[in-house]
Structures are given as C-alpha cells and as structure tokens.
Chains A and B, each alone.
Chain A
Amino acid sequence: MIGALMVICGGVKAAERAKYPEWKGAWERWIPQVSVVSPSGLRTPGGQPSFDQTKPWARGQEAPLTAEYQKVLEDSIADQASGGQGNNFDRARCMPTGMPHMMTFGPLEFVVTPETTYILIRTQVRRIFTDGRDWPKEIEPSYAGYSIGRWIDEDGDGHYDVLEAETRGFKGPRVYDASGLPLHFDNQSIFKERIYRDKTDPRIIHDEVTVIDHALTRPWTVDKRYVRDSNRHPDWRESSCIEGSDLVAIGKEMYILRADGLLMPAKKDQPPPDLRYFKHDTK
C-alpha cells in the first residue's frame, strides 16, 4: 500500500511537471525576410542586431525616446562615427549586456522547472522565479535584473503556455543595441514579458517585451522572436567577448591594439594615455 502510494505521489509529481511546456533546444535570433549582412557578418534588418527585430538598429528603431535621451543617442552615433564607442562603451569593454540587450543574440536555451525558468544566453543566465515568491525588500542591482514570473494556462487545456515575467532591480548603463540606444541612467527600468510558443508555428517562441523606462515617452512594446535550431545537438558555442577583442579601455578612453600589440588611437587626434605614473620608472 505504501509502495503504491509512493508511486501515486511520484506520478502526481510527474503529472504536475508535465503541465509545463517543452521549450527544449537552441533558439536563435529571428531574422526578417528582408535583411542585409551587417559589417560584422550578421544578417539583420540593418546595422547590428536590434531590439525590435523588424527594424534597423539605432535611429531605425524609432524608439519613443524623450528629447534628452534622443540627444544621448545622437551623441553616441556621432562618437561612433568618429571612431569612438559612444554610449556602448561598457559593452565594448566586455561588461555584461544585461536587459534588454542580452536577449538580442542567440542561441538561447530555456530550462523550465516548476520553481524557476532559466534562460541561458552564452555567458549570461537569467533566472525567472516562478515559485510564488514576493519581491524582496531590497534587490542587489544587477545588469540582468531580478525576475519574478508566473505560468498561465491561457487556453484552459491543463497545460501552461505563457510565462509572464516582470524584471526590476538594475544597474547600468544599459543599452538596447550596439549603437548605444540608451535606457535611462537612473536604472529604474521595469520589463514586462510574455513568453510563449507560437500557436501556428511551434518553431518560434515569442518574447513580447514591454519596457517602462524614464528615457521613454511611453511604454515601448516589442515582439521578439526566436527560431528553433533544428539540429538535435546544437552547437553551444563558447563566445567570449574579451577573446580576440582589439580594444583597450584606459579610463574613459578606448584605444585599439594593433596586431603587433602596440597601442594606437581609435579616433583622429585622440591623445595618448597619460603616463604620469611612469616618470620615475622610465629609463
């Protein structure tokens, strides 16, 4: 009898587990039909991969920025045009991308457990806690933020099909894309997401993201899509920002390392680094 009850209880646990969706595999960034090859070799609607995947990066995103933050974007673009990194400086020196930029690149892996849904993105991990917890009184700020979610059975068939998540608790600066399209420097961003598998094409997962941020004139909602890699054993490539990077940040200046290892300016007339600390040591 006890054995049978254990089997029942184990079976109930398994049955409960079976309510969660199957989102296994590698999910790559969706690319629109009309696309171009960016200078980095990636297919995009224009420029580097973008937050709104249907539109080119930077100004092409038509982000509803305040006048103040539209200027931040324009200054960033101008700086990049002259060889600098603009508002994307921290990404260029391999700081974490954080939200929302971390959701731009693939492959993503979703690992669903009853307590947590993990989104594994190259070197970064998002945890969306679905164990019913409340928001902590204090959140240690991070680039990925702190995410709480809940599963919803929208069609009432006894299976969860939508994950709703809210993310808060950020540090920065963070950007939407490599143009330096900015989020507010106050880091008060809130992200609300609805993640679900496409009902007509199961090869697609949607992540409807609504950004609430003081750099915006209104909440900005975008439907990000990811396409399942059909390879049974996806290539979880080890992608390291720092490896092969020829950029060196010294203070607030970014320089370039030549192939021979020597330092060179990234911008016209860029001053060399201050060597005051070498005065007593140079021969």
Chain B
Amino acid sequence: MTRNDAEIGVVPTSGAAVITGRTTMRCSGSIGVVAFSAALLVKIASATAHDETKYPDLRGQWTAIGGSVRYVPDKPRGLGQEAPLTPEYQAIFEANLKDMAEGGQGTDPTTWCLSPGMPRVTNGYGEMEFVITPETFHILVFHVFDSRRIFTDGRDFPTDVDPSFLGISIGRWIDTKGDGHYDVLEVETRNMKGPRAFDASGLPLHADNQTIVKERYTFDKNDPDVISNEVTVFDHALTRPWIVTKRYRRSRNPHPWWIEDNCMENNYHIRIQGEPYFLSAEGMIMPAKKGQRPPDLRYFNQPPK
C-alpha cells in the first residue's frame, strides 16, 4: 500500500488552503495555488484511491418496481408471462402449473431453498444493495442465495470453474455521454447449473444449462433513484432471445433496515423420495396433495404412532 505523505499538509505560499485529508477543508487562495493543489491531489488520489466520482452513487436500499414474484413484472403470472418457450418446454411448463394447482411445487427449485440462480435473481427479491469497487460490482441480497459479484476488472471468463446457480458474471462500465461518468454497466453471465426457473410459477429454463444472460444496467443522472436493467436471456428452452426490462427503486432512508430473510426459517416444505410434503404447525408431516400417500417408512423398526 503506498503512502501519501503529501496529503498530511500542503501549505501554499499564500496561506490559502490547508488540505489535511479530513472531510472539512477551506477552499480559497490564488488561482495558481488552487491549480497546483488540484493537480497534486489528483495525482495522489489517482495513484492510491478508487475514483468513485466516475461511478454512479448507488448508496441506499433498492427494491424491485412491480414486485419480484413475476419475471415480467407488468404481466400476469404463469401463462400470462407469454414466455417464448419451445413446444417441448411449453409442455413442461404447463405440466408444472398443473402440479402446482394440485398442491405440488412443480419445477420451482426455491421451495427447497436452492438459489433462484440467474436470471431469476434479477427479479429483485428482498432489499438490494449495490456496492461498487473498481474490481467488482456487488449486488447484496439476503434472500436465499442471491448475492452476486459482477467482475469489472477486465478478466476473461474462466474455463475451469464449477458451474453454479448464479454463474459467473463479467461486466464493463461504459461512459455513453463522454462526460467522465459511467452511466451504463453491461454484464454477461455464463456457467450456470440447474434446475432454474424464471420465477415462482416454475417457468423453466433448459435442462442443458447453456443459458447466457446479458444485462444492461442504466443509471440516469436525471433520475438517480431508479435503475433500469434490460435483461436478455439466450436459452434453448426459448424460441428466441427473451428481452425484459426490470427496474429498481431506491429508498432514501439514510439508515434502512436490512432484513435477514432466512429461507429455511418457517419453511414448511420437505421432500421425501422426490415427493413434496408439508409440515404442520406442530411439526408433523402432512400430505401436500389430495390422496397423497405417506412416505415409505420401511426402514423404521417401530410401527408409526
């Protein structure tokens, strides 16, 4: 780590500005002194610190506009999403909806507290926090396993990393207006595993897990409390790339509450031999579907009570 001895005190001859590195300062003095000080500080700062003025100020708590239940927030759930599914995956989806209507969980993996994965986490579950470092754009969410790292350090996609529900995300900042401030973050995510669904209706992605997700986050200085995220999904369950725009709104509460949302807490779903069951309030196993048989207890010596 380099040291900035000069930041401790810069005393111009006119006695105009003493810059101590603290947050309070006096800015006065001759133009020459000001210019010299500016140049020195810029050099020191650029040598040692992340220039956060180039990045949008995203401090605060963000939530999804339109809620997080549906992938396309402004369309009805389920078939109303009008997902461009292939006939094969449309059939899988409809079978899943039928199972859910009968009390099952269909193809939604988050019932069992598995990560929603990509692209579903872009729905914006819970309260989100965006933290920017030069190397990584962090999206922090306490939901199931939703927190993401989007690497912006110029790396290539690795070839030897195990697939994951969230995949590997690599992004790059863009200054579209040429004003020295980044206003777009483009991201690509690959290397996913499954099963994954677009939302809680179980809208499925392909079992081959060859999904690629591209995102374009737009940060508008004129509307700094809204972020747009244009999400494009390339997946073999789809007949074409599916483009959906998500939007997130910021709360201006200076000390927002970050809820610890624990999936397993108060989760009354269990699965035995691939079958879903419920747990009653007293902790006893119950059928999830009409006519559902109880689990096979052949390995227990004692008869059930």
Contact = CB atoms under 8 A, between A and B. Distances in A.
Given A120-B147, A136-B255, A262 B274 contact: no
A42 interface: no
Interface of A is mostly: loop
A10 B31 contact: no
B7 A281 contact: no
A280 B270 CA distance: 20
Interface in B280-302: 280, 282-287, 290-302
User: What is the interface residue range for chain B against chain A?
Assistant: 35 or more
B296 A263 contact: yes
B213 to A, nearest CB: 16
Interface stretch (B33-41, B89-97, B228-236): B33-41
Given A238-B166, A263-B297, A17 B259 contact: no
Interface in A1-38: 1, 4-5, 7-19, 21-22, 24
Nearest to A139: B257
B131 A127 contact: no
Contacts of A237: 162, 164
A263 B272 contact: yes
Contact of A95 (B42, B262, B302): B262
B22 interface: yes
Contact of A274 (B35, B114, B155, B285): B285
5 contacts: A118-B131, A127-B258, A140-B257, A236-B149, A277-B286
Interface of A: 1, 4-5, 7-19, 21-22, 24, 93-96, 111, 113, 115, 118, 120, 123-125, 127, 129, 133, 136, 140, 142-144, 157-159, 233, 235-238, 240, 242-243, 248-252, 257-258, 260-265, 269-278, 281-283
Interface of B: 1, 3-4, 7-8, 17, 19, 21-23, 25, 27, 31, 34-35, 37-38, 41-42, 44-46, 48-53, 59, 112-115, 131, 133, 135, 138, 140, 142, 145, 147, 149, 151, 155, 158, 161-162, 164-166, 255, 257-260, 262, 264-265, 270, 272-274, 279-280, 282-287, 290-305
